[in-house]
Structures are given as C-alpha cells and as structure tokens.
Chains A and B, each alone.
Chain A
Amino acid sequence: MNTLVECKDLTKMYGTKTALDHINLTLEKGRIIGLLGPNGSGKTTLIKIINGLLTPNSGTLTVSGMTPGVGTKKIVSYLPERTYLNEWMKVNDIIEFFKTFYEDFNPTKAYSMLGKLGINPTDKLKTMSKGTKEKVQLILVMSRKADLYILDEPIAGVDPAARDYILNTIISNYDEEATILLSTHLISDIENILDEVVFIQNGHIRLTSSVEDLREKQGKSIDSIFREVFKC
C-alpha cells in the first residue's frame, strides 16, 4: 500500500459556488508533487480539506486511511498560505511552542536551519520582513518528521537566493518515505525538484503526470506547459 492521500468524488461548495467538483485523486508516498493551477482553481480548498480545516459537501478524502482529524494532524505538517503565529512571539518561543505541540518536532534541526539563513532566534516576528517570516514558518514546518508536508505557496515572498536554499532544504530534509505537496505559481523555480504535477482548474483535475514524462513527451518545461494549458 503506497497510497497516502485518496480523494473519491470529492466535492466542496461555497454556497452555490462549486470549488471542487467530484475530484478523484491519489497521492503516493515518497513523492514531491506540485499542485498547480490558476488563481481560484481550488488548490487551497483541497489543501484545507486535507488538513481538516474544511469539510467536503460530498465524497471522501483520507490521509493514510484516516479522515482528517487529530490522527492525521500528527502525520501532516502544514504550511498555510497565511501565518497563524503571534507577532509578539520570539522565534525561540515558537520553537518551544512547536516542541510541546508536535511529538515529531526536532528543535536542533530548526536552530541549525535558522543559523544557516542568518535568522536570530531571539528576534520577534513583529520585527521581521515578510520574507524572513516566511522562512521561519517554513523552517518550523520542515523541522517536523511528518509523512506528508503540505506547503501552500512556500516561496512566494522569498528572494531568489534564499529560494535556492529553501528548495535545497526541502530536498535534503525530507524523508524518502514522506510526500511533499507543494502549491505555487513559481513553477520554473521549483519544477526540477518535482516528481509529479497535478494541474487543477475550476475545481477539476486537468492533468496528473510525472514531470519527466511530460518533458519527454512534449519537449517543454512544466512552466511552458502550464502557460499553454491555462492560457487566458
């Protein structure tokens, strides 16, 4: 059994608006998967359902065979689009907070990554730039030893040099058994680290494929394919 996430006929409505329309999708263990789609395509809705922050109107979604809840939160490390951390907290306070919250959190790893990115653990979040805050959050999320990492727009506010470092951190820190689901618009920056892509549009899955197969068949980068598929 290599299935980690399974959606069957998953539908989510916001009032009369359909955000996800009868989605069937399987994500396997040990993969880095890009969840790609234009704005308002349903990426974040899907991510929120996986994390138990939204409940579907119909259909099912399971993570390691469990419906999202306490059990899945133990094995899913989630980087949301927006921060939920308190601005007045210092980085080392947050590390303590995470340590008590998650059994699989490794503070040593977090401090070492902070050091490499030159972030002072005694700084308060309030005093940091948007990019630095994003780095802190990503470090926290990647310092857990989870089965599934879900990163919603992880590198949007970060400068290109730090982006490289972050991508390398993702590559070198993730366990071969773990899966990373990554949503972003910065496709050209991340496409070389992906195994697979899921293209989503208007609540439908347009395409799922291995990235190397796509490149081989189409002779194009994922970035160009995205631009073609979703041409406005």
Chain B
Amino acid sequence: MSWNLNSDRPIYSQIIEHIQMDIISGVYEPGTKLPSVREFASTASVNPNTMQKALSELERTGLIYSQRTSGRFITEDITMINDLKNSLAAEQINEFFKHMEQLGFKKEETIALLEQRIKEGK
C-alpha cells in the first residue's frame, strides 16, 4: 500500500515518478480513470495538496487529462506513453554507464561485459 517515498526529496516529484511508472508498466491502462486526489493521497499517505500538485504537473505534460465533471484519466496517446518509456530507459542507461565509469569501465568494456553476461545466459 505504501509508496516508499523518500523524505529527503520533494514528495511531489516522487509521486510523479511513481505514477509514470504505473502508467508505463500497465498498472493504469491508457484511458482508465484515476482515483480522486483524496483517495490517491490516502493510499500514498501524503498531503492532498502535494498530490494535487503532482497530478497538475502530470496534466501539464499531457500524460493525464481531466474531464471537468468526471475526474482524471490516463492519456490514450500510446505514442506519448512510449516516448516516456524510451526517455526513462535512456535515463536508466545513462545512469548505468555513469556507475560503470565510476568503477573504471569504459563504454566499450561495459558493452563487452554485457554481451558476455548475456551469453552466459544470465
């Protein structure tokens, strides 16, 4: 039930990341209705105003949209969801290369290690 939010960073940006993940991984399918701010705040154990702020930000990016009377929905724009997926993937990869670099591996060496790893069937 808990969202494992880390109090060291602004909560609203973590909420955004969490909801983005849920959209990408299909917890919320395109076009589905989201819980109300209040329900969402309660499941995440966060302040409703913070939740509101996060949802507004997601709305601004177009990933969710609101219909005046019936609530908030996930976008039906699959391209947009895929774009988000790709940009998060790129972030992960950059992060990974950065860590490998800190361990002293150049990009090519890292790739070689990856290939070897895949061959071993891991």
Q: How far is the CA of A167 from the CA of B45 in the complex (A)?
A: 7
Please indicate which of the listed interface residues A212, A219, A222, A223 has the most CB atoms of chain B within 10 Å of its own CB: A212
CB distance from B43 to the nearest CB of A (A): 8
Chain A interface residue count: which class?
20 to 34
In the assembled complex, which residues on chain B have CB atoms less than 8 Å from the CB atom of A172?
A: 38-39, 41-42
Chain B residues with Cβ below 8 Å from A194 are 47
Are the C-beta atoms of A171 and B7 separated by less than 8 Å? Answer: no
With CB as the reference atom, state the residue of chain A lying closest to B49.
Answer: A195
B48 located at the interface, meaning its Cβ lies under 8 Å from any Cβ of chain A in the complex: yes
| A200 interfacial contact with B, CB 8 Å | no
With A171-B38, A215-B10, A216-B10 in contact, do A192 and B5 touch (Cβ < 8 Å)? yes
B9 within 8 A of A: yes
Q: Which residues of A contact B12 (CB under 8 A)?
A: 212
A223–B8 Cα gap in the complex (Å)? 9
Q: Which of A190-220 contact B (CB under 8 A)?
A: 191-195, 211-212, 215-216, 219-220
**Given A171-B38, A172-B38, do A215 and B9 touch, yes or no (CB 8 Å)?**
yes
Complex CA distance for A170 and B10, rounded to whole angstroms: 21
Q: Mark B27-45, 1 if CB is under 8 A from A, else 0.
A: 0000000000011011001
| From B45, B48, B53, contact of A164 by CB (8 A) | B45
Contacting residue for B45 out of A168, A188, A223, CB 8 A: A168
Do A212 and B45 touch (CB < 8 A)? no
In contact, B46 and A193 (Cβ under 8 angstroms)? yes
- Contact partner of A193 (CB less than 8 A), chosen from B2, B6, B45, is B45
Name the contact of B9 in the complex, choosing from A31, A168, A219 (C-beta under 8 A). Answer: A219
Q: Name 24 A/B residue pairs within 8 A (Cβ), A-sorted.
A: A32-B49, A164-B2, A164-B45, A168-B45, A171-B41, A171-B45, A171-B47, A172-B38, A172-B39, A172-B41, A172-B42, A192-B7, A192-B11, A192-B45, A195-B49, A195-B50, A211-B11, A212-B53, A215-B7, A219-B8, A219-B9, A220-B8, A221-B7, A224-B8
Given A191-B7, A193-B46, A221-B8, 14 other A-B residues pairs in contact with their CB atoms under 8 A: A31-B49, A164-B45, A167-B45, A168-B45, A171-B38, A171-B41, A171-B42, A171-B46, A171-B47, A192-B11, A192-B50, A193-B45, A215-B8, A219-B9
